[in-house]
Amino acid sequence: MPEIIETTVYRLDELSGAAKEKARAWYREGGLDYDWFESVYDDFERICAIIGIRLDTHPVGLFGGGTRQKPAIWFSGFWSQGDGACFEGHYSHMKGASRHIRDYAPKDTELHRVADALEAIQRRNFYQLRANVTHCGRHCHECSMSISVERDSPNRQDMTADAEDAVTGVLRGLARWLYRQLEREYEYLTSDEAVDEAISANDYTFTETGHRFG
């Protein structure tokens, strides 16, 4: 015969310290099963547009059928030595990039350095450098990006000897910057403060030992 079993359930702030940790662990295991990184990607797209990078796109499937285009950005993290971020796209000089990036991110000195370094190497090449960035292999980090640099000179002038290494180094540095932003966002979303806020907002309940109820 059916039985009715009564269970006392608790909100997060009603649990003991050990039970709270178990409840948080439950949330961390599945609480980020959505594209939590989209805001970081959106910011990176704007930054790329400012400094002269046109990101490639790739199609992704939708739940209801069909596809939509997403920027060609990938990452893996955040626990293995080979983790990182990478992107695909095309770079060319963008006038005023150093000034505009400071307007967009006034406190981010690393982005200022990226824009300034690109401006400097472009100046030495009469602003004619272009670069193509593709992702190679299975790993996702700055060194998995293949970067080819050329000078689009009407007089067929060669680029300066330092141009290829300089542009490659800056673009890989930008990929490292992106990875740090993703890592910071992940660390925030899995922090006790953010996890507690999410659990409370969703009104999740738990048993006395911190196991999710229902």
Find out whether 90 and 53 touch, Cβ atoms under 8 Å. Answer: yes
Residue 205: partners with Cβ closer than 8 Å, 6 or more residues away: 9, 10, 11, 212, 213, 214
176-207 pLDDT, tens digit per residue, is: 999 999 999 999 999 999 999 999 999 999 99
Other C-beta atoms lying within 10 Å of the C-beta of residue 127: 14
Per-chain mean pLDDT for the chain: 93
27-79 pLDDT, tens digit per residue, is: 999 888 889 999 999 999 999 999 999 999 987 767 777 778 899 999 998 88
Q: In the structure, what pLDDT confidence band is assigned to residue 214 with cuts at 50, 70 and 90?
A: low
Other C-beta atoms lying within 10 Å of the C-beta of residue 122: 22
Query: Which has the higher per-residue pLDDT, 36 or 1?
Result: 36
DSSP 3-state of 74: strand
Find out whether 125 and 159 touch, Cβ atoms under 8 Å. Answer: yes
DSSP 3-state of 144: helix
* pLDDT surpasses 70 at 110: yes
Q: In the structure, what pLDDT confidence band is assigned to residue 86 with cuts at 50, 70 and 90?
A: very high
- Read off the pTM: 0.91
Span 9-28, average pLDDT: 93
**CA–CA separation, 42 vs 40, rounded Å?**
5
